[in-house]
Amino acid sequence: MWSALFPGQGSQSPGMGKFLCEEFATARRAFEEASDILSIDFKKLCFEGSEADLALTENTQPCLLLVSTATYRVLNEEFGFAPKAAAGHSVGEYAAVVAAGSLPFSSAVRAVRTRGEAMQSAVPLGEGGMTAVMGLEPEQVFELCRWAEKTSGLTPVQPANINAPGQIVISGRKALLDWIPTNFKSDMFASNPRVKFIPLKVSAPFHCAMMKPAEEKMAIVLGEMTFADARFPVVQNVSAEPVTSGSDLRANLIKQVSAPVRWIECTQKLTQMGADRAIECGSGKVIAGLVKKISVDALKVFNINSMDDLKLAETQLKG
3-class SS of residue 100: coil
* Rounded Cα distance, 171 and 211, in Å: 10
CA 204 to chain centre: 15
Amino acid, res. 279 = I
Rounded to a whole number of angstroms, the distance between the first and last alpha carbons of the chain is 12
3-class SS of residue 259: coil
Angstrom distances, CA of residue 168 to CA of 161, 181, 210: 6, 15, 18
* Rounded Cα distance, 224 and 140, in Å: 39
Catalytic residue among 11, 68, 207, 258: 207
3-class SS of residue 172: strand
68 is catalytic: no
Cβ contacts of 136 within 8 Å, gap of 6 or more: 144, 166, 168, 189, 192, 195
What's the Rg (C-alpha) of the chain?
Answer: 19
Cβ contacts of 85 within 8 Å, gap of 6 or more: 1, 3, 4, 232, 233, 234, 235, 242, 270, 273, 275
Catalytic residue among 3, 11, 68, 90: 90
207 is catalytic: yes
Active site residues: 90, 207
